[in-house]
C-alpha cells in the first residue's frame, strides 16, 4: 500500500504540476552525478559562490535520496573538508523514503516537511542550497503542493537564489533544475517509443522518455545528467524537439562535472573531470517517418573544464591554453565509421566528435549506426560545417582536453540489410 500510494502521488505530480519557472539572481551548480569528494574544481567554485569557507552556509535537502541521512552525512563531511563550518551545514529533513541505516527514525515520515515554516526559515538564513541525488520525482513530490504550487520550503529556496545565493544539485538534484524535467527513459527508448507524461504502473517497464515538470531554476533549456556515461544524447534530443516551441537549447552534463550558471549574465562555465554537451535546435527540422523521428540540422557543441558558453550570443570560449584544431589536426583517419553511440556500451559521443571528427583531417563527417533490431537502426551523422571549431590542450596529467563548437547532427531511421561476405 505504501508503494502504491507513492506511485499515485507521482502520477498526479506528472499530470497536474503547474509551477512555472522564473529568472533568479544567483548561481547554479548543476552536477551530472558521481561527484567525487576530491573534485576540488567543483566544490571550491560552489563554496566560493556561497561566500567562501568562512561565510558559506548550506541547506542540504536529501528529498531525492533513498538513504537521506547517509546522503546528508556524506555531503556534510565533504563540505567540511573544504573548510565550511559544521554549524553552517543544515539538514533540511525532507524525504519520502526511510533510511535503513537509522533504526530509531522513519525518514519517510518527513514527506510533509516541505510545509514546515521552521525549515523554511533555516533555508532563508543560508547562502547555498544543495539537492542530493536519487529520484528526481521524489523531490518534486515533496516540494510541491497538491495544486502544483510551491511549498514554503521551495519558496525559501527561491528566495536564496533571488538574493544571489547558489543552488546546487547532483544527478536527480540536477534533473530538477530545468522547468521541463526528464524523469526516466533511455535514448533508444525515447527514439523508438516516444514520450510518456506519467509514470503510472502501466509504464513501469517502458524505456520511453518520461517528461514531467521540474523546479525551473535554470531558464535556458532542458538539463540531463550522467550524460556521456549513459549515452543519453538520444533522449535529450527527443525532449528538446518536443519542447522546441519554448526552448532551443538542451544541456547534457557528464558525471563528476558541473555546469556553473550565472543568472546575472547568462554565462555558463564548466568545471570538473569530464564535459558538457550543448544541443541547439534553433534551425533543426523534425518529421516522423513510419512513426519514427527524422531530425535534421541540429547543432552540437562540447565543453570541458575551464570552458565557457555565453547563452545570449551562443559563443563558446575555450579555456586558456587551448589551441584550434582546425587546420592543425593531429589525426588522419579516413572513413571512421562508428557504432553504438546510443548505447552505454558503445562509442562515446566525446570520442566521435573530438578525436574522430574535429581533430581528424581525414574526415569531414562521421556516420554512427545504432541497431534497434536485426533490420532497423538509427543513423546519426555528424558533419563539420564552415563554422565548426575544435580546440585542444594537453594538461599536466598528459590528458587530452577538448572543446568543440557547432557540429551538425542529423538523425534518421534506416533499414539495414546485412549480407555475409563470401
pLDDT at 376: 94
pLDDT at 346: 64
Q: Which CATH number fits domain 2-289: 3.40.50.2000, 3.40.50.880, 3.30.420.40, 3.40.640.10?
A: 3.40.50.880
Give the model confidence (pLDDT) of 119-144 as tens digits: 999 999 999 999 999 999 999 999 99
The pTM (predicted TM-score) of the whole model is 0.92
**Lowest mean per-residue pLDDT among 5-14, 91-100, 241-250, 396-405:** 5-14
pLDDT at 7: 42
Give me the residue spans of the domains in the chain: 2-289
Average pLDDT over residues 11-20: 43
Q: Which residue has the cell 541497431?
A: 371
Stronger pLDDT, 10 or 44, i.e. the higher one: 44
pLDDT at 15: 41
Q: Which residue has the cell 541547506?
A: 59
Confidence of residue 202 (pLDDT cuts 50, 70, 90): low
Amino acid at each position: 500500500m505504501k508503494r502504491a500510494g507513492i506511485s499515485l502521488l507521482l502520477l498526479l505530480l506528472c499530470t497536474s504540476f503547474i509551477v512555472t519557472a522564473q529568472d533568479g539572481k544567483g548561481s547554479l551548480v548543476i552536477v551530472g552525478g558521481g561527484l567525487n569528494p576530491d573534485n576540488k574544481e567543483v566544490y571550491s567554485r560552489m563554496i566560493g559562490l556561497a561566500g567562501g569557507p568562512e561565510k558559506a552556509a548550506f541547506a542540504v535537502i536529501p528529498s531525492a535520496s533513498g538513504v537521506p541521512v547517509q546522503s546528508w552525512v556524506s555531503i556534510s563531511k565533504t563540505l567540511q573538508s573544504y573548510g565550511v563550518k559544521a554549524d553552517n551545514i543544515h539538514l533540511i529533513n525532507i524525504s519520502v523514503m526511510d533510511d535503513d541505516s537509522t533504526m530509531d527514525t522513519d525518514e519517510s515520515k518527513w514527506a510533509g516537511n516541505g510545509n514546515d515554516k521552521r525549515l523554511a526559515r533555516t533555508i532563508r538564513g543560508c547562502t547555498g542550497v544543495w539537492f542530493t541525488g536519487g529520484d528526481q520525482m521524489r523531490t518534486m513530490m515533496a516540494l510541491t503542493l497538491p495544486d502544483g504550487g510551491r511549498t514554503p520550503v521551495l519558496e525559501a529556496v527561491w528566495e536564496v537564489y533571488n538574493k544571489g545565493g547558489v543552488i546546487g544539485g547532483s544527478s536527480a538534484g540536477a534533473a530538477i533544475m530545468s522547468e521541463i524535467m526528464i524523469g526516466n527513459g533511455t535514448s533508444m527508448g525515447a527514439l523508438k517509443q516516444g514520450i510518456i507524461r506519467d509514470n503510472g504502473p502501466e509504464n513501469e517497464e517502458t524505456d520511453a522518455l518520461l517528461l514531467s515538470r521540474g523546479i525551473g531554476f535554470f531558464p535556458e533549456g532542458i538539463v540531463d545528467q550522467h550524460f556521456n556515461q549513459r549515452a543519453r544524447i538520444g533522449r535529450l534530443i527527443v525532449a528538446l524537439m518536443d519542447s522546441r516551441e519554448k526552448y532551443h537549447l538542451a544541456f547534457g552534463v557528464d558525471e563528476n562535472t558541473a555546469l556553473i550558471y550565472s543568472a546575472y549574465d547568462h554565462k555558463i562555465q564548466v568545471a570538473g573531470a569530464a564535459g558538457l554537451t550543448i544541443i541547439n535546435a534553433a534551425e533543426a527540422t523534425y518529421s516522423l517517418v513510419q512513426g519514427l523521428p527524422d531530425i535534421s540540422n541540429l547543432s552540437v557543441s562540447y565543453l570541458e573544464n575551464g570552458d565557457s558558453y555565453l547563452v545570449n550570443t551562443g559563443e563558446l570560449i575555450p579555456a586558456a591554453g587551448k589551441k584550434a584544431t582546425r587546420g592543425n589536426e593531429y589525426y588522419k583517419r579516413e572513413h571512421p565509421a562508428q557504432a553504438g553511440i546510443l548505447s552505454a556500451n558503445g562509442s562515446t559521443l566525446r570520442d566521435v566528435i573530438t578525436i574522430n571528427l574535429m581533430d581528424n583531417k581525414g574526415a569531414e563527417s562521421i556516420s554512427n549506426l545504432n541497431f534497434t533490431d536485426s533490420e532497423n537502426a538509427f543513423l546519426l551523422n555528424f558533419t563539420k560545417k564552415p563554422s565548426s571549431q575544435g580546440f585542444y590542450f594537453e594538461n599536466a596529467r598528459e590528458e587530452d582536453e577538448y572543446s568543440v563548437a557547432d557540429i551538425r547532427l542529423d538523425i534518421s531511421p534506416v533499414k539495414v540489410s546485412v549480407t555475409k561476405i563470401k
